[in-house]
A and B are shown apart, each in its own frame.
Chain A
Amino acid sequence: MTKRNKIVLGSSIFLALCVIATVIINLKYNIQNSAIDTNSLILIGIIILLSIISIPVVYFSKVRKSKFERMLNNEYFQKYEIIRDAVMNSQLSGINKKEIKEDMLDILISAQKSGKPAEDTVGNPETFAREIILSYARPGRLPFLSIIDGIMYFIFFILGVSIFIWFEQTDASFFKTGIDISMITFFFIISFILIPVTKKLTSTHNYWMFILPVAFGIVFVLFAEIIRRFFYSNEIIRQFLDGTVRMIPNIFILILYIVSIPIVLFSKSYLRRRLLKTID
């Protein structure tokens, strides 16, 4: 297993364990306070199950080599892996990404069979990947699409968390579900900064960046606990930590969230077509 795959798999196992540990500690606390009901138990079961399932999902989608990838020797595979990660983390369409992967495998397997060293075939794999991506679009245009991705992630986060929180107390109205301001801030940073930055950095061969989201989560929780301990008397800090906002206060906003999903997806697809076609 390559260094990249060890880090990817390791970070997914670590994240799953962190989530399971948090849920168990929370469960223990609720049992001690007799504040546990059937819905909470179902929710905890779902979270633990999803955490466990996430590990094989990461393995099969990000780590396991395909039939043709296994045909590449170590030297070629290491170069291919860098190109593949850069292309897969780019803003190219799914069809383009699949096509480039197929082309790369054909070209690299052909070169390997002819006895050519990987260094002579690929040169600098990061430059190669950048040239491939630029053959579809002008430089500087594609990062714009990351903002649309960010909007999409944020909508999903808000909808998902609202449903989870409401599921814990189904006797209350869904539209009265409040989300912590700190959690909204966390989601905002993840959606608009952390995911694009992680994608950018992992495509520059810095595999340790795969653990960036997990590390950020831990740092954020620690930061929240430290400010809770030392600055809780401050009104702004108190609001940040325990204040809640009803992100879906009525049916119209809920409809707006749901309707915005296909609109955002369509906008991204339309913009991508326009941006990618304008090559020199």
Chain B
Amino acid sequence: MYHIGDEVMNNDTQIVKGILEGCILKIVENEEIYGYKAVEKLNILGFEVNEATVYPILTRLQNKEYLNIDKRPSPYGPMRKYYSLTEAGKKSLQEFRDTWDRIKNIVNKVMKGDENDKKK
């Protein structure tokens, strides 16, 4: 399950996976990041996700070649993967932005229409 704010969403829904993937790409675009830090960032933004949710998404993005990997030892000892965006990742992020804007506008229109209907 993913928690977004107070809402709980089933993790099987492709839409949630897509949203999280887009948000992770955006976070990585802003700064080079490692797995645990990505979870922290998402938590601060309001996604109540844990490592078990974020790590497979990072791996999937890495396998799709949207993320570059740089390995350096962490302060605690084990090797740590630092993720940065590839050109393909930047393109995918742009596609996500466009899709998100379009869907957001459509959904807002639908919701406003619904509110107007209620007022009538």
Interface residues of A in 46-101 (CB under 8 A from B): 67-68, 71, 100
Q: What is the total number of residues of chain B having a CB less than 8 Å from a CB of chain A?
A: 21
Q: Is A169 in the interface zone, CB < 8 Å from B?
A: no
A122-137 toward B: CB 8 Å interface, digit per residue (1/0)? 1110011001101110
Compute how far the CA of A108 lies from the CA of B52 in the bound complex, rounded to whole angstroms: 10
Known: A121-B51, A136-B63. A106 touches B56 (CB 8 A): no
Do B50 and A122 have beta carbons less than 8 Å apart?
Answer: yes
Known: A71-B77, A102-B78, A106-B79. A132 touches B59 (CB 8 A): yes
Q: Is A107 in the interface zone, CB < 8 Å from B?
A: yes
**Chain A contacts of B74 at CB under 8 A?**
106, 109-110
Do A127 and B76 have beta carbons less than 8 Å apart?
Answer: no
Compute how far the CA of A120 lies from the CA of B36 in the bound complex, rounded to whole angstroms: 13
Do B35 and A109 have beta carbons less than 8 Å apart?
Answer: no
B65-88 toward A: CB 8 Å interface, digit per residue (1/0)? 000000000101111110000000
**Chain B contacts of A67 at CB under 8 A?**
77
Nearest residue (CB) in A for B69 is A99
> Which A residues form the contact surface with B (CB < 8 A)?
67-68, 71, 100, 102-103, 105-111, 113-114, 120-124, 127-128, 131-132, 134-136, 276-277, 279
> Which B residues form the contact surface with A (CB < 8 A)?
34-36, 50-53, 55-57, 59-60, 63-64, 74, 76-81
